[in-house]
Amino acid sequence: HTRTTFTDDGEFMLVGTYRDGYSYLCKAHVPTGDLTTLCDPIKSDGLAINPSTLAPKSGWTFFWDGGTLRSINIHTLEERVVIKDIGHEWAGSLMSVDPEEKFVVSAIGMKNPDELAGLPKDQVRNYKVVFAEGKGLTSKLVQAPIEGGEPEVVFVDEGVKLCHVEHNPVDGDLFYLDRDRPPMFHAGGDGSKTSRCWTLKLSTGELTALTPAAEAKFQIHAAWSWDGEFLLYHGPAKLVWGPCPWYIGAIRKDGTPYREWTFPEGTHYGHVASAPDRPAIIIDGNLSPNLLQWLYYDGEKPRIEPICEHNTELNTVPNNQLSHAHPSTDRQGRWVGFNVAKDKRTFVHVVEV
């Protein structure tokens, strides 16, 4: 995602790791690879500290520790509690820092009521089953001052589950969010009839759908362009199980279509990221199973340029997400960072552009 991984000068990036039942959050000095552990290890179920995000100018990083939103400065190691407790019935989710670095905003979602009721594991229904019709399902955006102060709920969404969220890089009032509808939620929403990606004006609550032109309206991943003018996205062109063509595109922040192409040969799973130094979408899949590539959107026809091989071995570690390349860039356009799974371990790689 845009503005979440590297400091603005490109010298440091966040790295999460999981070892022996504990997760650790670290900063990596990118030119040398030196690692510094930022906090005491947290008991974990196999996920690296997640979700977490970085304020790229000040160096404050934010992460959920149970129902507490904690913050650590990667330069000074000063610690803060930003939100003390969201309540046992809520789970902290993905978050974002505004461009001026005054606020952090996080999605929070309802925990599975079967788990809250203490039912045995074999009696706990899948989340999708419990909320198959969206009844009783509520998601919220909670905003808290980075320097300290009372958090407040700035948006409530009924009948949907919020997933990826991200401030526009130049407009702190404009927010992108994924609104996952039942019955398929993150796997297709309402049968891909409705866009997954929306913008929200935090000051007014106004929602705008960023709808692709393709038959299947449910995007899988998206990220702001670094200049804040476009949301870059991709998704399967048809709602089917298994390989199918993917579309990749850029849509203006007001919802006006700009570029979108469907690639019949682009059947590989992947992700999108924004390139700060060129009008291009970084893809780690879709058109290739093992390449990072730039897909340029400044012309009517797509132009593709390889960056490097990533060669990650997808879905070979217990948490499949950690085997996905998930590329990320720094503001200067110097680095592209990505994950690699190999021999049942995961690594963080960086390519110098």
Q: In terms of DSSP bridges, do strands 138-145 and 152-158 run parallel, antiparallel, or are they unpaired? A: antiparallel
pLDDT by residue (tens digit) across 312-344?
A: 999 998 888 889 999 999 999 999 999 999 999
Q: Using an 8 Å Cβ cutoff, are 151 and 83 in contact?
A: yes
Given this model, what pLDDT does residue 50 score?
65
Given this model, what pLDDT does residue 32 score?
96
Q: Using an 8 Å Cβ cutoff, are 193 and 251 in contact?
A: no
pLDDT by residue (tens digit) across 284-297?
A: 999 999 999 999 99
CA–CA dist 33, 12 (Å, integer):
9
CA–CA dist 53, 63 (Å, integer):
7
More confident: 78 or 46: 78
CA distances from 222 to 9, 59, 234 (A): 24, 24, 7
Q: What is the mean pLDDT of residues 277-283?
A: 98
Percent of the chain's residues with pLDDT above 90? 89
CA–CA dist 247, 260 (Å, integer):
7
pLDDT by residue (tens digit) across 59-84?
A: 999 999 989 999 999 999 999 999 99
pLDDT of 49 strictly over 70:
no
pLDDT of 56 strictly over 70:
yes
pLDDT of 300 strictly over 80:
yes
* Residues listed for the chain: 353
CA distances from 323 to 282, 319, 320 (A): 17, 8, 5
3-state helix, strand and coil shares in percent for the chain, rounded to the nearest 5? 5, 45, 50
Given this model, what pLDDT does residue 243 score?
85
pLDDT band per the 50, 70, 90 thresholds, residue 242: confident
DSSP assignment of 105-152 equals EEEEEEPPHHHHTT--GGGPPPHHHHTTT-TT-EEEEEEEETTS---E
pLDDT band per the 50, 70, 90 thresholds, residue 239: confident
Q: What is the mean pLDDT of residues 195-212?
A: 98
Of 8, 96, 85, residue with least CA distance to 51: 96
Q: Is residue 273 within a helix (H) or strand (E), and if so which, with residue range?
A: strand 272-274
State if pTM tops 0.75.
Answer: yes
pLDDT by residue (tens digit) across 102-138?
A: 999 999 999 999 999 999 999 999 999 999 999 999 9
pLDDT of 46 strictly over 80:
no
Q: What is the mean pLDDT of residues 8-23?
A: 91
Q: In terms of DSSP bridges, do strands 272-274 and 257-263 run parallel, antiparallel, or are they unpaired? A: unpaired
pLDDT band per the 50, 70, 90 thresholds, residue 238: confident
* Preceding peptide of 41 cis, ω within 30°: no
pLDDT band per the 50, 70, 90 thresholds, residue 155: very high
pLDDT of 206 strictly over 90:
yes
pLDDT of 47 strictly over 80:
no
Q: Using an 8 Å Cβ cutoff, are 189 and 205 in contact?
A: no
Q: Residue with structure tokens 């929403």?
A: 189
CA–CA dist 160, 30 (Å, integer):
38
pLDDT of 241 strictly over 80:
no
Of 259, 243, 239, 116, residue with least CA distance to 187: 239
Q: Roughly how many angstroms between the first and final C-alpha of the chain, as a whole number?
A: 18
